[in-house]
Structure 1
Amino acid sequence: MSTHTLTSGHPLSPLRDALWDAVLEGDEHTATGLALDALHGGADAESLLLDVIAPVQGRIGVEWAANRITVAQEHAATAVNDRVVGALSRSRAAHRDRTAGASGRVTVACVDGEWHALPARILAEVLTLRGLRVDFLGAQVPTAHLITHLHRTGADAVALSASLATRLPAAHAAITACQATGTPVLAGGAAFGADGRYARLLGADAWAPDARAAAALLAAGVTPRTPRVHQPIDDLPHLGDQEYTLVVRSKAQLVKAVLVGLDERFPAVRDYSEAQRERTAEDVAHIVDFLAVALYTDAPELFTGFLDWTGDILAARQVPALSLVPALEVLGEELRDFPRATRHLRLAAGRPGARPLPNIPTGKDA
Structure 2
Amino acid sequence: MVTSGDIVVTQNLEAVGGRYLDLIGRADEYGAVDLVVRLIDEGVPAEDVLLKVVAPGQRRVGELWASNEWSVAREHGATAVSERAVAAVSGRVRPAPTRGRVAVACADGEYHALPTRIMAEVLRLRGWHVDFLGASVPGPHLITHLHQTGPDVVALGCTLTTRLPRAHATIAACQAVGIPVLAGGAGFGADGRFARLLGADAWAPTADAAADRLAAGLPSFPAAHDGPDDAAVHLGGAEYAYLTRHRADLLARVMDTLREAYAPMGGYSARQLERTAEDLGHIADFLIAAMYVHDAVLFTDFVTWTCQVLVARKVPAESVVLGLGAFHDVLTDCPRARALLTEGVAAAQACCSRSSQPAGQRTETSV
TM-score in terms of structure 1 length: 0.89
1:300 alignment partner, one of 291, 296, 301:
296
CA distance in 2, matches of 1:65, 1:350: 22
The correspondence for 2:330, drawn from 334, 346, 350, is: 334
Report SS of the residue matched to 2:154: strand
Write the distance in 2 (CA, Å) between the matches of 1:178 and 1:234: 19
Tell me, yes or no, if structure 1 residue 135 matches structure 2 residue 131.
Answer: yes
Q: Distance in 2 between matches of 1:313 and 1:78?
A: 19
Instruction: Tell me how far apart the structure 1 counterparts of residues 51 and 77 of structure 2 sit (CA, whole Å).
Output: 20
Change (3 A) 1:84 1:71: same
Q: How many matched pairs?
A: 340
Aligned counterpart, 1:22: 23
Q: Match of 2:188?
A: 192
Query: How much has 1:102 moved relative to structure 2?
Result: 3.5
**1:23-75 Cα distance to aligned partner (Å, 9 max, x none):** 00000011111111111111110000011100001011110011111111111
* CA-CA distance at 1:233 after TM superposition: 6.8
Superposed displacement of residue 207, structure 1: 0.3
What corresponds to 1:281 in structure 2? 277
Shift of 1:300: 1.1
**Inter-partner Cα distance in structure 1 for 2:31 and 2:236:** 55
1:325-353 superposed Cα distances (whole Å, 9 cap, x missing partner): 22222211221221211211121121213
Shift of 1:269: 2.0
Measure, in 2, the Cα distance between the counterparts of 1:295 and 1:128. 37
Counterpart check, 1:311 vs 2:307: yes
Residue identity opposite 2:137 in structure 1: V
CA shift at 1:11, angstroms?
Answer: 2.3
Identify the residue that residue 291 of structure 1 maps to in structure 2: 287
Structure 1 match to 2:35: 34
> Partner letter of residue 27 of structure 2?
G
Aligned residues of 1:172 and 1:232 also touching (Cα < 8 A): no
Gaps of 5+ in 2: 1-8, 353-367
Deviations 1:129-149 (A, max 9, x none): 111100000000000011011
Residue 261 in structure 1 maps to residue 262 in structure 2:
no
Q: 144, 150, 157: which is aligned to 1:148?
A: 144
- The AA in structure 2 aligned to 1:294 is A
Q: Which runs of 5 or more residues in structure 1 are unaligned?
A: 1-7, 356-366
Question: Which runs of 4 or more aligned residues in structure 1 lie more than 6 Å from their structure 2 counterparts after TM superposition?
Answer: none
Counterpart code for 2:302: F
Q: 1:232 to 1:25 in 2, by over 3 A?
A: farther
1:219 corresponding residue in structure 2: 215
Please provide the CA RMSD for this pair. Answer: 2.0
Q: What is the CA–CA distance in structure 2 between the aligned matches of 1:351 and 1:217, rounded to whole Å?
A: 36
One of 160, 163, 169 as aligned partner of 1:164: 160
Q: Deviations over 1:108-144 (max 9, x none)?
A: 0000000011111111111111111000000000000
Contact 2:111/2:136 (CA < 8 Å) preserved in 1?
yes
Q: Which moved more, 1:149-158 or 1:252-261?
A: 252-261
Counterpart position of 1:353: 349
- Indicate the residue corresponding to 1:236 in structure 2: 232
Whether the 8 Å contact between 1:132 and 1:219 is mirrored in structure 2 is: no
Q: TM-score, normalised by structure 2?
A: 0.88
**Structure 1 contact 102–132 (Cα < 8 Å) conserved:** yes
The one-letter amino acid paired with 1:125 is E
**Structure 2 CA distance for aligned equivalents of residues 132 and 283 of structure 1:** 41
Query: Equivalents in 2 of 1:238, 1:218: separation in Å?
Result: 29
SS in 1 for 2:109: coil
Provide the identity percentage. Answer: 51
After superposition, residues 48-63 of structure 1 pair within 5 angstroms as 48-63=49-64
Answer with 325-334 or 43-52: which moved more. 325-334
